[in-house]
Each structure stands twice: as C-alpha cells, then as structure tokens.
Amino acid sequence: MFDPFHIGPVVVDPPVALAPMSGYTTLPMRLLSRRAGAGIVYTELLSATGLHYGSRRTREMMTLAEGERPVGIQLFGTKPEWMAEAARVAEEQGADLVDINMGCAVPKVMKTGAGAALLGTPDRAVEMVRAARGAVGCPVTVKMRTGLREGDDEWLPLAVRLVEAGAAAVTLHARTAAQHYTGNADWAQIAALVREAPVPVIGNGDVDGAGAAVRMLEETGCAGVMIGRAALGNPWIFGQVRATLRGKTPPPEPTPAERGAMALCHLQRYAAQEEERRAVLEMRPLLAHYLQGLPGAKRWRAGVMKATSVAEVRGLLEEFLREAAAWRPGEERTSSFPDESHTTAGGG
Ligand SMILES: Cc1cc2nc3c(=O)[nH]c(=O)nc-3n(C[C@H](O)[C@H](O)[C@H](O)COP(=O)(O)O)c2cc1C
C-alpha cells in the first residue's frame, strides 16, 4: 500500500523512522526499534564542536552496529568546516547518512547558533549542508522545524535552498521552535514542503500509531513518517505501523509481561555497553515509559526512579508482574501516548 522510499542509495523500508531523541535513542533503542519494524533509525544529536575538540563521549555515542542499519548519525553545530569534519567521522563510523539538526529548540543548543537557530541564519544553514555534502559520499539530510516562531514563512524557501545545496531528504517537525512541543503539529506545512522539495520529505509530529501514520502519508504526500515520543518504551509501534502500511493485520498489543521483558532486555543491553549504575540512572525515564498506563505503573515508576542496579529493576519487575497476574481482563493500558514529562527537556 505504501512503498519504501530511497534517500540516495539508502532504502527506507517500511517508510517509517525512529526519531532522533537525546538521552533515548542509544544503540539498544535503535536496535530494538529496527527489529520491531522501523525502516531507519537515528542517533540523538551529537556535537560537531565536541568532536572537533576530541570528545571521547561523543565518539563513543557514534558507535553503530550492523543490525541497526540503515542508521543516520545526527550532528549539530555552527561552523561549516567542523560540520564537514564531523560528517567525515560519522561516515567512517559506518553511518548510512548524516543528518544535520536544524530543529533543536533547547536554549543550550540554540544560544550557540545551532539547532533551530540555524533557521534564522539561512546562509550559514546552507553552508553547513554544502560543507557536509562536500566531505562525504553518503547522503546528507536535514531535520528542521517550521520556522522560529508563528508567522515565520522563511523556512520553506530555506528548505528549498538546503536541497539545492545537497540535502538528499528533509525531515520536517511541523512545529515552530517557539512552540517546542505545544499545540498540534501543522501537517499542512508538511504537504507544502512536499510540493516544493524535489527530494523525499519525512513528516514528523504527533504520529502516535498506525492510524496517524497512514493519515499523515495520505494527507501530506510525504515519503515517510518519523515517530518520536510514541516510540518511547513502545518499539511495538513500528511493527504495527509496518503491518498496516503493508496492508496486513497489525500484531496484537504486547502483554504486560512482554512489556516488562522488553524493558529489562533494553536495560541489560544498555548495561552491557555502559557502566551498570550509569546505565540504570540514564535509563530510568525510559523504563518508566515501558509500563506507563498499566495498573501498578506508578509504583513501578517510583521504584525505577530510585533504582541503581539491574538486579533492583528485575526485582521491581517481578513484583509488578506478580500483581499484574491478578488483574481483571480489561484493566489494560489506558493511554498509548507517553506523557509530556520529557518533552521540555528534550532536543528537537
Ligand atoms: C526527549 C526528546 C529528545 C529529542 N531529541 C532530539 C534530537 O536529539 N534531535 C532531533 O532532531 N530531535 C529531537 N527531538 C525531537 C523529535 O525527534 C521529534 O521531532 C519530536 O519529538 C516530534 O515528534 P513526535 O511527535 O513523534 O514526538 C527530541 C524529542 C524528545 C521528546
């Protein structure tokens, strides 16, 4: 029903992407999302400046695995020559494409002139793409917003210039930077970009399930959709979208036990790559997401927010599942959309 699409030589099949999300889209989440059915995944935004100054942590965060491909490394920065340098490193690390962040509205990033601030310095934004494009053989793409603030209509001509400078695809989070995550994403802007840009457009903003994915593809004509918040603690969403886009019956919702098992598996994978305590601390919010909306989720959340070891999390999970076994049918998950608690801290 909905075909795969290409970004240069990269095939995105099915046409649904895991959004870059800082603090979340580490290697385990990318692998689990790909396995569940995402057609492409992205690292969180990584600093070109950090790389230039030899940040070991930034380099580590560029570690990719074969099983997650196709994968994009997302970079942010302000200096075209450092962006070129960082793009080269990303390609060496095995990135299938390099994505330049022009959407992050977090003050810490914007005040340096990077992220969404680039929408206000269009010549520099164009130079960033040109520099990266000249430095690598893989496609260079851009993720942007619909301007800095309401009424800003410069973003669309800028998007066209970015394509002329070499961007092989554009992802549009259909909100302004000033909106952060408030209000609804304005999908009509995605349709407007589709009409103007002679490259694939990936639509983004408020896709919370297979129905919304289909609606966005149909209403905007975009080549693919990108899912962020709704994929937190919910890799199954990609299987549901994939099946629906292929005209098949979507798999059933995961059971509480499957959710718990996936949360633990995710944590164990992360703890295998990071020091255990650090892994648990960093993964606390994501662990909470996995069981969100289920009875007992509040206690689970309170527990994981204090946990410091994998064993503790396993204990909390066993307790949760013992209680879940006593539920009456129908006492299932109530909300499919993660709460807003992480949306203000996030990038994008
Ligand atoms: C916690 C969090 C972190 C984010 N980090 C990034 C990021 O590193 N790079 C980026 O381009 N967008 C980032 N975003 C924005 C998402 O990629 C996406 O554009 C946004 O969440 C809208 O999509 P959604 O409605 O499907 O969540 C982040 C969003 C959240 C919630």
pLDDT in tens, 100-131: 999 999 999 999 999 999 999 999 999 999 99
pLDDT computed for residue 330 by the predictor:
56
Q: Is the CB of 70 under 6 A from ligand 1?
A: no
Q: Of the CATH numbers 1.10.3470, 3.30.700, 3.30.43, 1.10.1200, which one belongs to the domain with range 256-324?
A: 1.10.1200
Q: Which residue, by CA, sits nearest to atom 1 of ligand 1?
A: 346
Two tokens, residue 272: 């295998």
Domain boundaries, the chain: 5-245, 256-324
Q: Which residue, by CA, sits nearest to atom 5 of ligand 1?
A: 21
Check if the beta carbon of residue 271 is closer than 8 Å to that of residue 277. Answer: no
| N-terminal to C-terminal alpha carbon distance within the chain | 30
Pocket test for ligand 1, best of 97, 173, 216 (most atoms within 8 A of CB): 173
Q: What is the phi/psi pair of residue 16, to 5°?
A: -140, 135
pLDDT computed for residue 326 by the predictor:
79
Q: How far is the CA of 201 from the centre of ligand 1 (A)?
A: 17
Quick check: 223 pLDDT over 50? yes
Can you tell me the distance from the alpha carbon of 312 to that of 55, in angstroms, rounded to the nearest whole number?
32
For the chain, count helices (H), then strands (E): 14, 10
pLDDT computed for residue 1 by the predictor:
74
The residues pairing with 45 across neighbouring beta strands, listed in sequence order, are 74
pLDDT computed for residue 346 by the predictor:
42
Can you tell me the distance from the alpha carbon of 215 to that of 187, in angstroms, rounded to the nearest whole number?
10
Q: Which residue, by CA, sits nearest to atom 12 of ligand 1?
A: 348
Is pTM beyond 0.85? Reply is yes
Q: How far is the CA of 26 from the centre of ligand 1 (A)?
A: 13
Catalytic site includes residue 104 = yes
Q: Is the CB of 85 under 6 A from ligand 1?
A: no
Mean pLDDT over all residues of the chain?
94
pLDDT computed for residue 333 by the predictor:
45
Q: What is the pLDDT of residues 170-194, one digit of tens each?
A: 999 999 999 999 999 999 999 999 9
Q: What is the pLDDT of residues 29-59, one digit of tens each?
A: 999 999 999 999 999 999 999 999 999 999 9
Atom of ligand 1 nearest to the CA of 226: 26
Quick check: 338 pLDDT over 70? no
Amino acid at 327: W
CATH top-level class for 5-245? Answer: alpha beta
pLDDT computed for residue 323 by the predictor:
86
Can you tell me the distance from the alpha carbon of 194 to that of 56, in angstroms, rounded to the nearest whole number?
39
Q: Is the CB of 16 under 6 A from ligand 1?
A: no
Can you tell me the distance from the alpha carbon of 267 to that of 270, in angstroms, rounded to the nearest whole number?
5
Check if the beta carbon of residue 101 is closer than 8 Å to that of residue 347. Answer: yes
